Structure 1
């Protein structure tokens, strides 16, 4: 004889399998579509600037050590690293701005379609 608890258990397992199948069928969101907060963007830009400065300083110090001309290349590459860091920050800011403008444009298109205009 079959126990009523076994039947309810089987029904729950079937329902769980259906939900899992539906969940597996949904495609995963790409990483690029994630929402980044303002703090994350700010940290990203700070890290890009500091990385440019550190790389420039490291290259300049290395060349000065090898050539025996201590402050010349260090200062030169420090400024080049600063310029590279700022350029990377501006590129990131422009990328974020373009994404937001595209989202706003998509939002307006959706509203225009609903309003019948």
Structure 2
């Protein structure tokens, strides 16, 4: 009788391990949602950082040279362009990572 209890216990442990290893679809969806939100915030921060740095440099030069507001306007525009370029680079990195992940998943399924 003790033998069958041990077998049943092992079978139960195996079932528990199998249940734990299964991916919870709702949890995966939530993790993907947070991942997408983090990527969106990253891009927003990159754009705002470009604008802020451009504003800071332009304002500082205007203050030092007395050319208010011309250099500030020029550097804010340059900061915006730099922020957009950084966002595009980030989007390309994310797209490449997604394509690599999809390619890996299709090769694993073969």
* Separation in structure 2 between the aligned mates of residue 106 and residue 69 of structure 1, nearest angstrom: 56
Tell me the CA shift for residue 99 of structure 1. 0.4
Task: Please point out which of 51, 66, 69 is paired with 2:67.
Answer: 69
Pick one of 81, 85, 102 that aligns with 1:104.
102
* Match of residue 87 from structure 1: 85
More helix by share: 2
Compute the displacement of 1:39 (Å): 0.4
Root-mean-square deviation (Å): 1.1
- Give the Cα separation in 1 of the matches to 2:105 and 2:36: 20
Shift of 1:111: 1.2
Per-residue CA deviations over 1:42-83 (Å, capped at 9, x if unaligned) read: 000000000000000000000000110001100000000000
Count of paired positions: 78
2:23 alignment counterpart: none
Deviations 1:61-110 (A, max 9, x none): 00000110001100000000000000111111100100000000001111
Number of the residue aligned with 2:47: 49
- For structure 1, which runs of at least 5 residues remain unmatched after alignment? 1-34, 113-117
Give structure 2 stretches of 5+ with no counterpart.
1-31
